[in-house]
Structure 1
Amino acid sequence: MIAADRAPASREVTSGAGLLPLVRLLQLASPALPVGAYTYSQGLEWAVESGTVRTEADAAAWIGDLLEWNLARFEAPLMACQLGAWTAADDGEVARLNEDFLASRETAELRAETVQMGWSMAKLLAELDAFAALPGWRARLLAVDTPCFPTAWSAAAAAWQVAPEQAVAAYLWAWTENQVMAAVKAVPLGQSAGQRLLATLGAGIPPLAQLALHLPEARWSNYTPGLAIASSRHETQYTRLFRS
């Protein structure tokens, strides 16, 4: 009976081998990824301190605007192009986009954030057997000068053969989840409010992922002055929970 019960499960495991890229993607999008994302609020903490974000609705508006006008129109398209460049072995393009992203960080905190997370991600990937087993990937990633977070993250997604559409959606989701959890702590909001925010904001991610995938570089834009102001003000904020 026991052997008979186990047979169907064995067949299910075999037929699910193609799910490995999805499993790897879940790993990349997990808040357990040891890159320190939870320590950053990207100016949200100052928005709370200043009274701009006081309620669940305020948090939804703040995070939703940044998701649509910053992430989906600059960071996510850039990451998607890096994903393609990694796959095509165009390391020059990867480096160019990495430099562009570093130059786009408006404040010292935002630049320090992506540099620290990029370094942590690159270090993690260099130590993972699942990543190092792919010829050339470790050396290519470590050859990038000051890799930012999208650069290291896209390298992993490319190495693990994650579909671009899924990679972009997961990247947007991971950022959104981190922002919501920052709001839960800083406003503060309850856990149920956090889940409502994720449900509402998550519903908008599929069309934003499509936008990011098809937006030509000439139309990329991270013009969000509210974020730049909040981040710069946060640098001198007296009491802080977050590093940005």
Structure 2
Amino acid sequence: MNLQLARLLHLASPALPVGAFSYSQGLEWAVESGAVTNEALAQQWISDALHFALARCEAPALIGLMRAWQAGDSAEVQRLNAEFIATRETAELRAETLQMGYSLARLLRDLPDMPDRIRETHAGMTEIAFPTAWAAAAAHWQLGEEDAATTYLWAWLENQVMAAVKLVPLGQTAGQRMLVALSPALTQLAATAIERADAQDWENFTPGMTLASSQHETQYTRLFRS
């Protein structure tokens, strides 16, 4: 098997012990409020978040961080990490990326093939965003930017679809239909993320998602942590 393919599958796997399955990023409140009540609405919600949040902010940050890790520029890693954390507009979104980043950094620390410079850079950071830790692994494993961005977007998409299946609720076949419908856009969205990283043009204007996340903080009954 191609080793790089195996590495991509490793990073995209729901078995990666970072707790991604426990977050909905406001989707749970959207269901509770009646904004998302069926498959079509769930697909639209996820598609909007994918296009306007992930491809415009999180994925470009990932690419920028990969480049900083590849260059061995710890100061730039820390700068981009702080900049990304500043884009998390609610307490839950901030806690999510920090918890997942901490968990992944701890995992990378225990993997035997990770170089000391990654461990040392992580050790010098009080807060580690999830894209920062993910980018460290992708850079060390010499994954291509387009493949890495596509894989990162796929992992997010799969997690959101499975959250929708549980919350709306929907059947497993509906979840698969959404994945088939939304996944063709990933290649172009990855290219968009790379272009934005080239221009250092991150944009995180997602008021609907932010409102949903903030409302979720006080939601009475919850399955998810965001």
TM-score > 0.5, shorter chain as reference: yes
Deviations 1:93-139 (A, max 9, x none): 111111011111111000000010000000011011132xx352222
Report how far residue 221 of structure 1 moved: 0.7
Higher deviation after alignment, 25-34 or 209-218? 209-218
The correspondence for 1:237, drawn from 214, 219, 224, is 219
Question: CA deviation digits over 1:138-168, x for unaligned, max 9?
Answer: 2223223311100000001011111111000
Q: Equivalent of 1:125, from 85, 108, 117?
A: 108
- Rounded to whole Å, the distance in 2 between the matches of 1:220 and 1:101 is 9
Letter in 2 for 1:195: Q
Rg larger for? 1
CA distance in 2, matches of 1:56, 1:42: 18
Whether the 8 Å contact between 1:71 and 1:172 is mirrored in structure 2 is yes
* Alpha-carbon distance in 2 for matches of 1:114, 1:201: 23
Q: How does 1:155-234 map to 2 (within 5 A)?
A: 155-215=136-196, 216-217=198-199, 219-234=201-216
8 Å contact kept, 1:24–1:160:
yes
TM-score calculated relative to the size of structure 1: 0.90
Q: Which runs of 5+ in 1 are unaligned?
A: 1-15
How many Å separate the matches in 2 of 1:29 and 1:153? 10
> What is aligned with 2:44?
61
Aligned pairs, number = 225
| CA-CA distance at 1:92 after TM superposition | 1.1
How large is the RMSD of aligned CA atoms in angstroms?
A: 1.1
**Could you say which residue in structure 1 is the equivalent of 2:92?**
109
* Structure 2 unaligned residues grouped into runs of 5+: none
Contact 1:141–1:155 (Cα < 8 Å) also in 2: no
- In structure 2, relative to structure 1, the CA distance for the partners of 1:167 and 1:202 (3 Å cut) is same
2-structure distance, mates of 1:240, 1:136: 40
1:41 equivalenced with 2:41 (yes/no): no
Matches of 1:162 and 1:214, distance apart in 2: 17
Whether the aligned pair in 2 keeps the contact of 1:122 and 1:142 (CA below 8 Å) is no
Compared CA separation, residues 234 and 217, structure 1 to 2 (3 A): farther
Give TM-score scaled by structure 2 length.
0.97
Following TM superposition, by how much is the alpha carbon of 1:27 offset from its aligned partner in structure 2, in angstroms? 0.5
Find out whether 1:94 has 2:74 as its counterpart: no
User: What's the CA shift for 1:220?
Assistant: 1.8
2: distance between equivalents of 1:105 and 1:220?
Answer: 13
Q: Distance in 1 between matches of 2:165 and 2:176?
A: 10
Moved over 3 A (4+): 216-219
- Give the letter aligned to residue 43 of structure 1: G
How far off is 1:65 after superposition? 0.5
Tell me which amino acid in the other structure corresponds to 1:80. Answer: I
The 2-side partners of 1:23 and 1:101 are apart by: 28
Q: Which residue among 154, 159, 183 is the counterpart of 2:135? A: 154
Paired residue for 1:84? 67
Matched-pair contact (CA < 8 Å) for 1:41–1:242: yes
